Amino acid sequence: MAPGTHHRASTLVAPKQVPTAKASRLPLPAYMLHSLAHVELNAVDLAWDTVARFAAAPLPRAFFLDFARVADDESRHLLWCLQRLGELGHAYGDMPAHSVLWEGAQASAGDVGSRLAVVPMSQEARGLDAGPRLVDRLVGLGDARSAAIVRRIAQEETAHVAVGVVWFRGVCAALGADPGHAFRATICTLCPDVLRGPFEAGARAQVGLPPEWYDPGCWPEGERERLAEALRARKEGALDGRTAAEVQGGGRGDTARGPQTALFSSTLQDAENLGALRARLEHFVAGETARAAPASAA
């Protein structure tokens, strides 16, 4: 389901057409909560889309349970935002919104590795960067209740990014791929413009995201050059409606499945490998969970 199709609809426009806080008729706290509510609404859709879209993939049951829990969390976050908006005298749909997050779902529809890299590890990781700044702004505006809600949401989003990181590392381990290279290659192909700072390196490190993955300044020179080419392609694509991956590939691609990366597409669809892949993935994730258990109990 595309965003904006349940609850009260918010008109979807191009990102540059979304009113700025200064141009909006909403007071600043309501403006920020409306923007966050839109993110949470998309996050609900994205989590359930991940469960449904990859139901036939060679993934353990725990994968689907994890993302069902993420969807439940995001639903609760959305309700908190809607409730607070109502308390402030406003509602979701009072201003236009963009569809950038859902475009990430379409771009990563081709395989589960891409979905993990694009959605929890990139889009949701942006919340690790922005959350503390948003809390500080709301506190500065004297809106302690909204600040408390945003702080709680930001804290819980940390677990969602961590879920993506663990499963991404697991998929890479099962395929014998280097996760750092795989992440950089996937983002460079599908959504190169998501890698914008400033980054909260400490928060990202806590969920297992090292700067060599997401900070282009830490990338090998050759990969930085490919990123620059991808960003140029993205800019060109913005002029004629194509994605960066389509510009680079020279075509429109399969819009139902989305672009696929060379790393993940073939092996994950090879029926002969499904049993072995699932077993390797289960073994890796079980080991990650066991290593994390003492820290969680402390």
Total-model pTM: 0.82
Which residue, 144, 121, 153, is CA-closest to 37?
153
Residue 268: is its pLDDT beyond 60? no
Confidence at 252, pLDDT banded by 50, 70, 90? very low
Residue 277: is its pLDDT beyond 80? no
Residue type, 16: K
Q: What angle do CA 204, 121, 224 make, to 5 degrees?
A: 85
Helix and strand counts by DSSP (H, E) for the chain: 13, 0
Residue 248: is its pLDDT beyond 60? no
Q: What is the mean pLDDT of residues 212-229?
A: 95
* 224-231, Cβ contacts within 8 angstroms, sequence gap of 24 or more: 226/188, 227/184, 227/188, 227/192, 227/195, 230/188, 230/189, 230/192, 231/192, 231/193
Which residue has 């060379």 as its token pair?
262
Confidence at 15, pLDDT banded by 50, 70, 90? confident
Nearest-angstrom CA–CA distance, 194 and 185: 13
**Dihedral (CA of 236, 231, 187, 226) sign:** positive
| Domain residue ranges of the chain, discontinuous segments joined by + | 26-253+261-266
Residue 170: is its pLDDT beyond 70? yes
Nearest-angstrom CA–CA distance, 59 and 43: 21
pLDDT in tens, 127-162: 999 999 999 999 999 999 999 999 999 999 999 999
pLDDT in tens, 257-266: 444 444 555 4
Nearest-angstrom CA–CA distance, 135 and 54: 35
Quote the longest CA-to-CA distance of the chain.
60
Q: What percent of the chain has pLDDT over 90?
A: 60
Which residue, 146, 36, 27, 25, is CA-closest to 95?
25
Residue 141: how many other CB atoms lie within 10 Å:
14
The pLDDT score that the predictor gives to residue 282 is 72
**Dihedral (CA of 98, 43, 198, 188) sign:** negative
Q: What is the mean pLDDT of residues 71-89?
A: 97
Confidence at 276, pLDDT banded by 50, 70, 90? low
Fold of 26-253+261-266: Ferritin (1.20.1260)
DSSP 55-80: TTSS--HHHHHHHHHHHHHHHHHHHH
Report the mean per-residue pLDDT for the chain: 83
The pLDDT score that the predictor gives to residue 258 is 46
The pLDDT score that the predictor gives to residue 3 is 45
Nearest-angstrom CA–CA distance, 8 and 6: 6
Residue 228: is its pLDDT beyond 80? yes
Q: Can you list the alpha helix ranges (DSSP code H) found in 191-273? A: 201-206, 211-214, 221-240, 244-249, 265-268
